[in-house]
Structure 1
Amino acid sequence: MTNKINITLSATKKEKPNADQLEFGRTFTDHMFIMDYSAAKGWYDPRIVPYEPISLSPSTMVFHYGQTVFEGLKAYRSSEDKVLLFRPDKNMHRLNLSNDRLCIPQIDEEFVIEALKELVSIDKEWIPTAEGTSLYIRPFIIPTEYYLGVAPSKYYRFMIILSPVGSYYKEGIHPVKIFVENQYVRAVDGGTGKAKTGGNYASSLKAQEEAEKRGYSQVLWLDGVEKKYIEEVGSMNIFFKINGEVITPSLNGSILEGVTRNSILHLLKHWNVPVSERKLSMEDVYNAYKEGLLEEAFGTGTAAVISPIGELFYNEENIVLNNGETGELTKKLYDTLTGIQTGNHEDVFNWVVEVN
């Protein structure tokens, strides 16, 4: 594959929304990155072109078998007007792990990061500067072979699109209410739970819809075998602070390894806060609540960064955490991580990558 990226700039620029009108994932920038794959050529024709619809045959495999993967990361503008990415290497490595699980050809991670930086640089005027805003980056791969057969595609398209965003939850950093799901399951060991693929999210919609009808922001998933052990919360990993120790479910083959999750673990260990990755049942959490030992809980993910949990609904009972308020450690983690991401806090881990 040639490393030359062909660039075609848009002849017209779209109107940019006001920062206070940003919804998550509703507005898109002027350009996108595209690269194609065939079994004969490998990955070829990397290009940046104006953002526009794509044309596909109704028989294209993407519409039928769900062989897709995607990623999510963000670009930020610092107070010194620098454009910063947060740990893009982790996202591209995880994309290749998802590729492996879905039988999609591996990408050149370093090249794709350079392409991403070029795209963000071209559309950097779209990066909002208001507090809590950023430019969301969505890389994804779809099969493009015209074939109605259950087999890995021989053709693919890799794309990156950009979207200026505000807070993922309307609550912002304020605590959210979570419904503990005990009927539906998200994934099981041996399935695709540890890959970032569309089918995992499609299967979550029914439970999410029912939780929202009852006034809850997200669903807390339990394991798919015993429906006993905590796995993820909605589109995030989850942490509990119990009697001074922070606990997050260990990666078990059905949990997505979040980049934010990994970053939180690094921060906690750096601060010498007791932290462990292990199996944790909902009964354990409930008992800790009854004993007055459940101090805080929060979700972590690229979209929301950190989302404090103020209430869990479990077995027809409301478990209220920290009087429904954001916990001290949760707030410190949020302030530190967002500070690193925006260049306002010392980056001792060298996580931030500047876009020229």
Structure 2
Amino acid sequence: MTSPVRTLVVDDSVTMRTMLCAALDADPDIKVVGSAPEPHAARQLMRELDPDVVTLDVEMPGMDGLSFLEKIMRLRPTPVVMCSSLTTHAAEVTIEALRLGAVDFVAKPTGAGADMARAAAELCEKVKAAARSQVRHSPNIATPAPVDAGGGMFLDDRLIVIGSSTGGVDALFAILPSLPKDAPPVLVVQHMPPAFTGSLARRLDGVCAVKVMEAYDRAPLERGTVYIAPGGDHHMVLSGKTVRLIDGDRVTGHRPSVDMLFKSVAPLGRKAVGAILTGMGDDGAAGLLAMRQAGARTFGQDAQSCVVYGMPRAAVAMGAVERELSLSALPMAIIGACRSK
């Protein structure tokens, strides 16, 4: 029998600590071993309790969540799930937390009834996934420079599509800044709530040679532009030479879904290049297989460089991945597949 995930909850709000502890303790595979109102008390409890996972409030008095996270990653690397409110500032801080080494994040539960139940289920799922994740002991947040990938012109009709989930923010920061400013259009689905994809796009835009934007309906495909699917209400698909945001039920548990994007691109055949990155579950595997069967080049992030080797594993098992590569090798492979020789 597998031991429960021993979890430490850190939040300055008594009400929120109580809610988080109750949600986690209701899962038989999780055991809350302690809670703390601020980082200094949490640091002492980490020494005494040695938790498997820490849930950490983004914004706290005294020492903020980012400063404490940096200390955890430097002195006592432990899987951390950030708990963020749905504000623009909190979203920006959360993106930085993921860059510093946090495994994942959840939006703080609000409301009641079915909404609270869904939030509690998401929290428990992410804490259990964090316990199985690979923690970066030495986070490297240096921004890579654009790579050359052997020279040659980009083929005019190429399109790059990328799907990612848990650990994907860090992976996107490793791949997208490597793209030169004249790269083919890139469509990205990163599993995130609505308030966070805009912040992710703005943060990436500040460090990339290409333009990075949150996608909007009927956006024209343009070279040198990355389109991040907005979280929450729509699927992002390709229609002709435009981006469409369409209504629809969740697919493989997600909206937007990587599968929906990849399947919409499959008719392009050899003109498309797909990459499936770190994440839980199997979203994107079937879509990537459809792309490969149509003649597209397809890549997957390898187990050693994934935070969670779930989505790439599912794609490999289906035969959807042409080549499995480390995160550091993926940019050159993707760019090379789009160039004329």
TM over 0.5: no
Indicate the structure with greater strand content.
1
TM-score by length of 1: 0.29
Indicate the structure with greater helix content.
2
TM-score by length of 2: 0.30
Larger relative contact order, structure 1 or 2 (CA cutoff 8 Å, min sep 6): 1
Q: Which of 1 and 2 has greater Rg? A: 1
